[in-house]
Amino acid sequence: MTSPSPRARLRSDGRWGGAVTRRALPDGADEIGALGPATRARLARIWLSQAATELRVASSFAVIHRGLVALDADAGLVRLAARAVDDEHRHATLAEELAGRYAGRAVGPPPVLPDQRPGHPTASSPALRSALWVVGQCALNETFASAYLSAGYQGARHPLARAALRELLEDEIDHARIGWAYLGTTSPALRRELSDWLLPLTVCNLREWRRLELPEDDALAAHGVPPLAIAREALEETLREVLVPGFRRAGLDTRALERWIAAGAYDRS
């Protein structure tokens, strides 16, 4: 468990500010100066898009936090979810900072993305709907995020990219733990209901990851942006080796999900 993050603050201009990272970022001037303008612009676009995504995840965590309160979840988990809102705002600030450094000028604010949180209108109760949001955002999405960031970190060679990815990764692992810890506290009846949703939740979440526009080659790998094939491999490995065993250990029925994977549906999705 990492130490609590410095809290981001709402600034007078309505945007979130405060500490960008826990540790000072390397300045990265040499590594950025060695890049051509097209590569710099591409990396700036990628980081600004990341900033937009982080802001959307911050909104999701506000809903998760309210959901955990409504579910009367463990107070430690409720606190972690509240902290996650701040973490995601800090991530957005960090990503915007990186975008600016690659661009060589201030960029932003990032575009406001439409909310993509599934409504789960057929959930049998508000409690199940809240539980689905916790499992979908934390256990699924943040675990996939950790896998994606790890893949980027492993290929990253430049100190600025490595420092930024490490900062994000440390928090995303904590955010995933909220989901796994919550699952450990659920009743057998709720676990039975959640089991029925496991496959559609996973398919829906993976669809979002598939929308990531990544390079086919390793042109940006040293700057922490993995090639598409590496990212897909990392997500698939995480699905098989972390998510399925994790859900099974939590007492969920993973057979439909395993059949879907065994039928090669992941590769066709």
Site residue total, Fe ion (CB under 5 A): 6
| For Fe ion, the closer CB: 132 or 178 | 178
Query: Which residue reads 């990764």 in tokens?
Result: 169
| For Fe ion, the closer CB: 91 or 232 | 91
Q: Which of 84, 80, 114, 96 is nearest to 15 (CA)?
A: 96
- Using CB under 5 A as the binding rule, whether residue 65 contacts Fe ion is answered as no
Instruction: Go through 32-71 and write b for each residue having 16 or more CB atoms within 10 A of its CB, e for each that does not.
Output: beebeeeebebbbebbbbbbbbbbbbbbbbebbbebbeeb
Contact, 16 vs 10, CB < 8 A? yes
What DSSP string runs through 187-216? -HHHHHHHHHHHHHHHHHHHHHHHT----S
Candidate segments 49-57, 65-73, 103-111, 153-161, binder of Fe ion by CB under 5 A: 49-57
To the nearest whole angstrom, how small is the minimum distance from the Cβ of residue 145 to Fe ion?
A: 6
Candidate segments 70-78, 85-93, 131-139, 229-237, binder of Fe ion by CB under 5 A: 85-93
| For Fe ion, the closer CB: 31 or 54 | 54
- Using CB under 5 A as the binding rule, whether residue 172 contacts Fe ion is answered as yes
Structure tokens that stand for 7 in this block = 């809290």
Candidate segments 33-41, 139-147, 201-209, 257-265, binder of Fe ion by CB under 5 A: 139-147
Window 174 to 193, contacts with Fe ion (CB under 5 A):
175
The CA distance from 214 to 49, in Å, is 12
- Using CB under 5 A as the binding rule, whether residue 91 contacts Fe ion is answered as yes
- Using CB under 5 A as the binding rule, whether residue 83 contacts Fe ion is answered as no
| For Fe ion, the closer CB: 54 or 97 | 54
